[in-house]
Each structure stands twice: as C-alpha cells, then as structure tokens.
Amino acid sequence: MGKQAHVTISGDVNGRYVVEESRPDGRLVLAPDWPSENTSIDAIRERTGTRAMTPAEFDEHFGQLPTDGEG
C-alpha cells in the first residue's frame, strides 16, 4: 500500500487529515491525521477548557478503585 495523501483544511473544521478514500464522483473520505499537534492532550484540553485532575481530586472523585492484585 502506498503513502496516504494528506490535506489541510480550514473553516468550521480545521486540521490536517489523510485521504481514506477517493470516490469516483470526486468526493473524498477524510480521517484525522493521528497523531498530530491537534490531537495532543494539551490541544484537546485547550479546546475543551479542561485540565488534569490533581491527585486529591482523583481520589475524591474515584475513591479506592479495585485492583487485579498484581501491584
């Protein structure tokens, strides 16, 4: 299999994509180019206005999680 074609789009949707399929009528099926700077956890957190939980927040939210006994 050859190297996939890449496209960069901008507008309501922005980012770098790979061409998954080129249809006979000219339509393209695109998929996100993974991984990319747009798919990093920092970029996702910036877009969604979130941050990582602190260890105390994690414990408060999840409590004592069950373990499989391996550690």
Sheet containing strand 15-22, edge to edge, reads 6-9, 15-22, 28-32
User: Considering the entire predicted model, what is its pTM?
Assistant: 0.46
Share of the chain above pLDDT 90, in %: 46
How many CB atoms within 10 Å of residue 37?
Answer: 10
Q: pLDDT (tens digit, 0 to 9) for every residue of the chain, 71 residues total?
A: 467 888 999 999 888 899 999 999 999 999 888 777 767 888 889 889 999 999 999 999 999 888 887 75
3-state secondary structure of 33: coil
CA 44 – CA 36 distance, rounded (Å): 11
Residue 2 confidence (pLDDT)? 60
Task: Quote the mean pLDDT of the chain.
Answer: 87
Q: Two tokens at 9?
A: 């789009």
CB 33 within 8 A of CB 19: no
